[in-house]
């Protein structure tokens, strides 16, 4: 394990909030390492500590000898004694053979841990992971999705990962697992966490590959649930959207779904890596910009009115917005790059309807995406500062 990322991630996570409950760790917290919370942690920590102890020993030996020689052979007056041995076979064999043996031992210890980490148990629970700028989508076997990761306790979990855009890297420090997520291919990792997280406790999940301006927004939480609770959560998570009436969809589901858009699209008119949903270019908010006759510019200066309206590519604003979610590279807004990933297969028709409904009524939401209209139909409350 690379020491520097470990220290940096430890420092970063200490600022973010509560992590794993003390006393539940598989391996204890040390100066260098956080508490271990997976079955892979003991072997990783043992190899790490073994290498560290070797480093401590040779640091003391080399520095100690250096200081001793500096003192013993310091110049006295102007007399310099330069004669001495220029060859010592036993010493030269020693500093060649002993380090070689140590390196070979370290290799086999590390290789054994590598094989354990790469040999995925046959009975693993599979979760599909999609990395995108700037977030994660975790998809469970029943079709449920989440932005934070939920896993069953006491059962091996297999993550099958892919990237929608650029190189990412999934790292769960407490589980001692890390794997690059590469565009155009699938990568996997596995772990088993036996201790459930309790209350507001969780483990941190990071992207450790710098992927753009919103890289730091990819921090997520990992919750370990007792198997029965996890099974119930998966069922409920798979049908949460279906329980919301159509007329309440935009303000109950919209803000939750918008959280996946917020790292690129603001609501206050300040452009991010993508155009704001608010008014930033004088042509209105995203709903106004998507109407027939819009002068909003795309594809190098073409007005959107060329594409939206009767007999055109998109007959309605809803059709254009839906296509922009599922095929965002088809028409790129001027001033922005073609960096938005597709959400095809990640958002259902009902989820897309919820987002479009929110876009139609942006005046009912504050800059944080919170619904501020009274439930009795009264006037909107002041936006939160």
Q: The domain that contains 151 carries what CATH number?
A: 2.60.40.420
- The least confident of 83-92, 171-180, 298-307, 325-334 is 83-92
Q: Is residue 26 part of a domain?
A: yes
172 and 227 part of one domain: yes
Q: Is residue 375 part of a domain?
A: no
Position with higher pLDDT, 147 vs 81:
147
How many Å apart are CA 210 and CA 216, to the nearest integer? 9
pTM of the model: 0.71
- Average pLDDT score, the chain: 85
- The least confident of 43-47, 71-75, 304-308 is 71-75
pLDDT of 106 > 90? The answer is yes
Q: Is residue 350 part of a domain?
A: yes
133 and 161 part of one domain: yes
Q: Sorting pLDDT into bands at 50, 70 and 90, what band is 245?
A: confident
273 and 150 part of one domain: no
Q: Is residue 384 part of a domain?
A: no
> Domain containing 42: what range?
1-74+120-239
Q: Which has the closest alpha carbon to 208: 182, 180, 187, 228?
A: 180
- CATH number of the domain that residue 318 is part of: 1.10.760.10
Evaluate whether 11 touches 173 at the Cβ level (below 8 Å): no
Asked if the peptide bond before residue 134 counts as cis, ω within 30 degrees of 0, the response is yes
Q: Is residue 61 part of a domain?
A: yes
Kindly state the average pLDDT of the residues 64-89. 79
pLDDT digits (tens, 9 = 90+) for 177-218: 999 999 999 999 999 999 999 888 999 999 999 988 888 889
Please state the domain count of the chain. 2
| Residue that is last in its domain, among 218, 239, 260 | 239
297 and 316 part of one domain: yes
220 and 257 part of one domain: no
141 and 196 part of one domain: yes
332 and 296 part of one domain: yes
Q: Is residue 374 part of a domain?
A: no
Kindly state the average pLDDT of the residues 71-88. 73
What percent of the chain shows pLDDT beyond 70?
A: 88
Amino acid 80: pLDDT: 64
Please name every residue paired with 152 in a beta bridge, in sequence order, or none if there are none: 225
Q: Is residue 113 part of a domain?
A: no
């Amino acid at each position: 394990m690379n020491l520097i990322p470990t220290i940096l991630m430890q420092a970063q996570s200490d600022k973010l909030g509560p992590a794993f409950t003390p006393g539940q760790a598989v391996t204890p917290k040390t100066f260098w390492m956080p508490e271990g919370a997976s079955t892979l942690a003991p072997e990783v920590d043992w190899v790490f500590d073994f290498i560290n102890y070797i480093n401590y020993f040779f640091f003391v030996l080399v520095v100690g000898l250096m200081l001793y020689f500096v003192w013993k052979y310091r110049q006295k007056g102007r007399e310099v004694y330069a004669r001495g041995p220029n060859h010592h076979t036993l010493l030269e064999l020693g500093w060649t053979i002993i380090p070689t043996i140590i390196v070979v031992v370290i290799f086999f210890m590390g290789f054994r841990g590598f094989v354990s980490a790469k040999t995925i148990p046959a009975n693993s629970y599979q979760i599909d992971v999609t990395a995108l700028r700037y977030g994660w989508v975790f998809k469970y076997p029943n079709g449920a999705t989440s932005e934070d990761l939920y896993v069953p306790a006491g059962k091996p979990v297999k993550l099958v990962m892919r990237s929608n855009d650029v190189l990412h890297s999934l790292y769960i420090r407490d589980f001692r697992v890390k794997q690059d997520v590469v565009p155009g291919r699938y990568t996997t990792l596995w772990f088993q966490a036996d201790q459930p997280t309790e209350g507001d406790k969780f483990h941190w999940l990071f992207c450790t590959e710098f992927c753009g301006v919103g890289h730091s927004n990819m921090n997520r939480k990992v919750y370990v649930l007792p198997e029965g609770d996890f099974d119930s959560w998966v069922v409920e998570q798979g049908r949460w959207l279906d329980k919301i009436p159509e007329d309440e969809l935009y303000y109950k589901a919209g803000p939750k779904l918008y959280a996946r858009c917020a790292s690129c699209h603001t609501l206050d008119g300040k452009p991010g890596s993508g155009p704001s949903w608010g008014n930033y270019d004088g042509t209105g908010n995203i709903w106004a910009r998507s109407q027939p006759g819009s002068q909003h510019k795309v594809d190098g200066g073409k007005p959107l009115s060329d594409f939206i309206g009767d007999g055109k590519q998109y007959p309605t604003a809803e059709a254009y917005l839906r296509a922009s979610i599922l095929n965002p590279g088809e028409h790129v807004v001027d001033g922005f790059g073609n960096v938005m990933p597709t959400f095809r297969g990640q958002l259902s028709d009902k989820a897309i309807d919820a987002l479009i409904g929110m876009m139609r009524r942006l005046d009912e939401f504050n800059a944080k995406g919170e619904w501020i209209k009274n439930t009795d139909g009264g006037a909107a409350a002041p936006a939160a500062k």
